Amino acid sequence: MPDAPVRLPRGRHNLSREEVAESQRERLLEATVEVVGSEGYAATTVSKILRLAGVSRETFYENFANKTDALNAAHRSESDALRDQILDAQRALPADAAPLERIDSAVGCYLDRLSAHRQRARALLVEILAAGPDSVELAVGARRRFVEMAVAILGFDTPELRFSCEAYLAAVNGTAMQCALTGRADEIGALREPLSGLARSILIGVDRLGGPSA
């Protein structure tokens, strides 16, 4: 049974109506990820999400049209949180940080978030692809935006350099997805070192082409 999201305290509290509504929405998003990640998209029902979140059916439908809408919203929320974490980590690096250090930092943020939450990895990497064409398009669009962010971070300004970055991130995502798909989400964090070695190999090749060096 997945862990229940943190609920509001019983009885009187000092939260505003807006804060209560936001807490309920967050609990629904967390519960959706937990149920989808542990039981799979097909077996997930709104009732299961409600039981875990401790939120009424009326509140669910005030926020989401159905379980697919809730899963898509969870995916968008996670993508936004990951983007903000990566950008914060990049700002914390020295201005003259090498490309390898920058890509290691970004990929480390991604792997750390996934490895910290087994259900998140399966729900948002694997099960999202079973939720229909809109969900697949959402996942593909999110990956495309992360490629654009990585290209900007690294200063890759030619088609060849862009392709190198896109191919590397596809390897990162594919390797993490394989772990999630085979029930080894707890091993995702251990991918950081081998993926760093792959990034170094790619950047050495980029350097030979006259691009940014590691």
Which candidate, 136, 75, 84, places its Cα nearest to that of 106? 84
pLDDT of residue 208: 46
In a domain, 148, yes or no: yes
Q: For the chain, percent helix, then strand, then coil, each to nearest 5?
A: 75, 0, 25
Q: Are residues 153 and 55 in the same domain?
A: no
DSSP 77: H
Q: Are residues 115 and 56 in the same domain?
A: no
Per mean pLDDT, which range of 30-39, 98-107, 163-172, 200-209 is the poorest? 200-209
Q: How many CB atoms lie within 10 A of CB 121?
A: 26
Mean pLDDT across the chain:
89
Q: Are residues 188 and 101 in the same domain?
A: yes
Q: Per residue in 157-199, pLDDT tens?
A: 888 888 988 999 999 999 999 999 998 988 999 999 999 999 8
In a domain, 184, yes or no: yes
The domain spanning residue 185 has which CATH number?
Answer: 1.10.357
The domain spanning residue 48 has which CATH number?
Answer: 1.10.10
Q: Are residues 56 and 77 in the same domain?
A: no
pLDDT of residue 118: 84
Q: Are residues 58 and 71 in the same domain?
A: no
Q: Are residues 109 and 145 in the same domain?
A: yes
In a domain, 7, yes or no: no
Q: Are residues 140 and 90 in the same domain?
A: yes
Number of domains forming the structure of the chain: 2
Domain that holds residue 28: 17-63
pLDDT at 8 over 70: no
Q: Are residues 107 and 57 in the same domain?
A: no
Q: Are residues 177 and 128 in the same domain?
A: yes
Of 63, 83, 118, the position where a domain reaches its end is 63
In a domain, 3, yes or no: no
Answer whether 163's CB lies under 8 Å from 151's CB.
no
Q: Are residues 53 and 136 in the same domain?
A: no
Q: Are residues 58 and 110 in the same domain?
A: no
In a domain, 133, yes or no: yes
In a domain, 214, yes or no: no
Indicate the pLDDT class of residue 117, thresholds 50, 70 and 90: confident
In a domain, 101, yes or no: yes
Per mean pLDDT, which range of 73-82, 83-92, 193-202 is the poorest? 193-202
Q: Are residues 119 and 172 in the same domain?
A: yes
